[in-house]
Amino acid sequence: MSLFIKSSSMVIKCVWLLLLVLLINNVQAQMKTFNVNQYGGVADGKTDNSKAFTDAWNQACQNNGGGVGTLLASSEYQYSVGIDHWIVFRYIDNLVISGGGTFDGQGASSWPYNDCRKNPQCKALPASLRFDFANNTKIDNITLINSKNTNIHLFAGLNVIISNINISAPADSPNTDGIKVGSSSIVQIYDSVISTGDDCIAFLPESTNLNVTNVHCGPGHGISVGSISSNSITGLNVRNCSFVGTQNGVRIKTKSPSQPGTVAQVTFENIEMDKVDNPIIIDQQYCASSGCSPPKTSEIQITDVKYNNIWGTSNTKIAVLLKCSENKPCQNIELRDINLNYRGGNKPAKASCLNAKGAAYGKQNPASCLQS
């Protein structure tokens, strides 16, 4: 089924529960598909389907079982440029999205226009799903493909569960982060597969009490803490995850220069790396654009970060890179049972540390470079 959606607030409000995955007030009732085309929707890329969505919405709300299906974004670039979302949920409590539906962002026609890495005046493309101030939210058993930009963007959420998610976009699709989490607390992400052209999961400032378990990442840029230029992230646990063919594995990145802030109480544990460029990396001279000034020092304090039982293969010789701030050296870094092999022949992997203080325990391959 194809359909066209204009990016008006009226239509976006109507999209909420239609076609796909919502309306599960009574999970015992029979599920039903609500096809917008049957309510007068026209998939010609021109028609405003607001009334069709409204009528389908009204019927879906009267059904105890809910609705299932696939929702397609417009494939036309001009209808997407300059807005930050395709579908948004704001100021909502006890939202549940589930049921096996698919969000197809149809991003391939828009990706060639994304020049944000070299053009500071670029116009943003929309995230597929955005959640602002959505508390006690559960997002389960849905698929997102070919987003024009970020797939799921969570902002200022409290007590959010994201599980059994399948996210897919080509490795060369720009800025198609899987899940972005900012200014949020008590967030759980588990049992999911994320394949993107950017970070599989990115944790942004002012977030705390975060847990990631049993997530497969690849392709993509790994699981990242950053890009941080101020404020803090505390209480992140990433466990029992795997990375295949990613640019990074577990990464903490802060911009340089930056305002004061903190990254603290972070644990990466039981992680498999398979053909990963930078399996373990802290970069406090991070710069995403090509026009950056020479590296300056970061004022973000990174402390109490644990890497425990991380194994696999590195595409680069430097399998552990801890490049910390001169003004704010990393403190209390712990390496325990690290076993990363360099894929480039018989040469061993190496570790490189700059302004990184901590201790190493158990097996260390490569040999630890931490300062005591």
Q: Which two tokens stand for residue 299?
A: 């004022």
Average pLDDT over residues 161-172: 98
pLDDT score of 120 more than 70: yes
Q: Which residue has the higher pLDDT, 241 or 372?
A: 241
Residue 125 has pLDDT above 70, yes or no: yes
* pLDDT above 70 for 13: no
> Has residue 3 got a pLDDT over 50?
no
Parse the chain into domains and list their residue ranges: 1-72, 79-345
**CA gap 337, 363 in Å, rounded:** 4
Q: What is the pLDDT of residues 34-65, one digit of tens each?
A: 777 888 888 675 777 778 877 887 887 777 76
The rounded percent of the chain whose pLDDT value lies above 70 is 85
**Catalytic residue positions?**
221
Question: So what's the pLDDT on residue 330?
Answer: 98
Say yes or no to pLDDT of 66 above 90.
no
- CA distance linking residue 234 with residue 42, whole number of Å: 48
More confident residue, 83 or 177: 177
Q: How far apart are CA 13 and CA 54, in angstroms?
A: 9
- With the CA atoms of 110, 112, 114 and 119 taken in that order, what torsion angle do they form, in degrees rounded to the nearest 10? -150
Average pLDDT in the 144-160 region? Answer: 97
Domain 79-345, what architecture? 3 Solenoid (2.160)
Mean pLDDT, rounded, for 274-287: 94
pLDDT higher than threshold 60 for residue 332: yes
With 50 as the cut, is the pLDDT of residue 176 above it?
yes
Looking at per-residue confidence, does 4 or 121 come out higher? 121
